[in-house]
């Protein structure tokens, strides 16, 4: 059903090779799922001339070859799909839920954040202490509990290869929000679990970054040489639409998993799930519990 007023998206050209469509200025799961629904429908039809279909948090982009697909034809197709999708309240898609073990407050991101204290809002606190305080938690553990209990949606994959942007599947009031560093760092360890604005992320490679650093995962999420079993088919682990559960681990478990990663035999725990937006919206917490049951079954 189309509910034109509530769902009218904004279309704009990124010159002659990109159509950019913003579903909403603000982040919300509703805007994200509308974008996913449109993108999914486009993937099914995939006309000749479409090069890349890039869903993002509250927008999407189609990269196309205008020699094969005229821009006005692409735009009318996307508007037609948008009308068909409407508010996407009953959108359903096949995806997977994956478990990412995290050593919170680890020595490597700690060493890094101490080197860049002069670029931080609160040089006297760690990133976790700062995030816990401004999100009104009594202590760091309360923040870690909130961060690792409800699952997250990989609402966009990119910036650099394979880096997931994650939006927690809870109501807006319960979203964890932290500003980015005052000035970006020139260094972030690979596999850092970070957070900026309302988005979590996992840095797929070492490099510059501005997100607050909370911990590190031992499991590789990007493998350009395709040596690990999870990467036999493709170099990036994450795809938009993946559901992520962070699992707090201790140092011993971290070392054990790192050992497995170095031996080339680690693989990320994952289960296929069907995600249904209508059922999720009816009772997000109960639905999340069911998702976690799927992950933990068997």
Binding site for another protein (CB under 8 A): 12-18, 20, 22, 24-28, 51-61, 63, 66-67, 71, 156-163, 165, 172, 179-180, 196-199, 204-205, 207, 222, 224, 235-236, 238-240
| CB closer to another protein out of 51 and 114 | 51
| CB closer to another protein out of 116 and 167 | 167
Measure the CA–CA gap between 85 and 35, rounded to whole angstroms: 9
| CB closer to another protein out of 15 and 297 | 15
243 beta partners: 97, 153
Residue in this structure with the two tokens 């069907």, named with its chain if needed: 274
What is the signed CA dihedral for 154, 156, 162, 164, rounded to 10 degrees? Answer: -40
Long-range contacts of residues 50-53, Cβ cutoff 8 Å, at least 24 apart = 50/74, 51/17
CB of residue 183 to another protein, shortest distance in Å? 11
CB of residue 197 to another protein, shortest distance in Å? 5
| CB closer to another protein out of 86 and 179 | 179
Q: Is 47 helix (H, G, I), strand (E, B) or coil?
A: coil
| CB closer to another protein out of 110 and 159 | 159
CB of residue 141 to another protein, shortest distance in Å? 26
Cβ neighbourhood burial of 133 (10 Å; 0-12, 13-18, 19+) = middle
| CB closer to another protein out of 105 and 200 | 200
CB of residue 127 to another protein, shortest distance in Å? 17
Give the angle subtended at the CA of 140 by the CAs of 137 and 146, to the nearest 5°. Answer: 65
- b (16+ CB within 10 A) / e for 179-214: bbbeeebeebbbbbbbbbebbbbbbbeeeebebbbb
CB of residue 268 to another protein, shortest distance in Å? 16
244 beta partners: 98, 152
Compute the half-sphere exposure of residue 291: CA atoms within 13 Å on the CB side of its CA. 30
CB of residue 222 to another protein, shortest distance in Å? 7
| CB closer to another protein out of 66 and 284 | 66
Strand order in the sheet with 10-14: 10-14, 18-22, 59-64, 50-55
Cβ neighbourhood burial of 125 (10 Å; 0-12, 13-18, 19+) = middle
CB of residue 111 to another protein, shortest distance in Å? 23
The CA–CA distances, whole Å, from 152 to 92, 159, 179, 187, 282 equal 17, 18, 19, 25, 18
CB of residue 139 to another protein, shortest distance in Å? 26
| CB closer to another protein out of 103 and 147 | 147
């Amino acid at each position: 059903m189309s509910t034109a007023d509530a769902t009218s998206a904004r279309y704009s050209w990124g010159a002659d090779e990109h159509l950019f469509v913003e579903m909403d200025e603000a982040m919300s799961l509703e805007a994200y799922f509308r974008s996913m629904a449109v993108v999914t429908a486009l993937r099914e039809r995939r006309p000749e001339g479409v090069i890349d279909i890039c869903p993002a948090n509250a927008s999407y982009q189609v990269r196309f070859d205008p020699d094969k697909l005229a821009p006005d034809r692409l735009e009318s197709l996307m508007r037609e799909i948008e009308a068909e999708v409407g508010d996407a309240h009953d959108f359903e898609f096949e995806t997977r839920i994956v478990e990412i073990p995290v050593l919170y407050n680890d020595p490597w991101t700690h060493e890094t954040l101490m080197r860049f204290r002069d670029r931080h809002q609160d040089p006297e606190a760690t990133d976790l202490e700062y995030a816990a305080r401004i999100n009104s938690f009594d202590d760091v553990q309360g923040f870690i509990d909130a961060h690792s209990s409800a699952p997250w949606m990989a609402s966009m994959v990119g910036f650099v290869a394979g880096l997931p942007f994650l939006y927690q599947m809870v109501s807006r009031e319960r979203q964890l929000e932290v500003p980015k560093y005052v000035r970006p760092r020139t260094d972030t360890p690979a596999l850092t679990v970070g957070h900026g604005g309302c988005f979590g992320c996992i840095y797929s490679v070492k490099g510059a970054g501005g997100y607050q650093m909370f911990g590190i995962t031992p499991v590789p999420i990007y493998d350009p040489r395709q040596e690990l079993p999870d990467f036999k088919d493709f170099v990036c682990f994450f795809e938009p639409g993946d559901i992520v559960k962070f699992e707090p681990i201790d140092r011993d478990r971290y070392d054990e998993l790192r050992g497995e990663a170095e031996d080339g035999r680690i693989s990320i725990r994952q289960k296929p799930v069907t995600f249904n937006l209508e059922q999720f919206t009816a009772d997000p917490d109960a639905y999340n519990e069911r998702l976690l049951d799927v992950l933990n079954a068997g």
